[in-house]
Amino acid sequence: MVFCVTNIKSDDTDDQLTVSTAPDGDMWIGINSFHLVRFRNMIGGGMFPHTFVALRNLEEAMIKDKEAIENGRQYHLEWNAALQELNSIKDQNKAEDLEED
């Protein structure tokens, strides 16, 4: 079984956050690759769809950060891009809430 593993180092310690996607699509998360916790996908009977999607988003964000570091990122530009993305998500959520009312 081959996993797609993404690690990112803590700002303050040598600890690493690990988020992995298994071949069956399940998401695994852990610290220092120790005691990984699995969140199953929809087909596998997953009970936490929002958490599953958030872990997928976290994995994508970690990959973006790692790529930015490897490409000699400029911190202020990365922070601006990340905050714009967050604000866009918040605006989308507000619009969806208004549609429901």
Alpha carbon of 85 to those of 39, 78, 81: distances in Å?
25, 11, 6
Which pLDDT belongs to residue 53? 92
Mean pLDDT of 8-36: 88
Whole-structure pTM value = 0.75
Model confidence pLDDT, tens digit, residues 71-94: 887 777 888 888 888 888 888 888
Whether the pLDDT of residue 1 is over 70: the answer is no
Which pLDDT belongs to residue 27? 93
For tokens 């992995």, the residue is: 20
Model confidence pLDDT, tens digit, residues 28-69: 999 987 788 999 999 888 899 999 999 999 998 888 888 888
Which pLDDT belongs to residue 3? 62
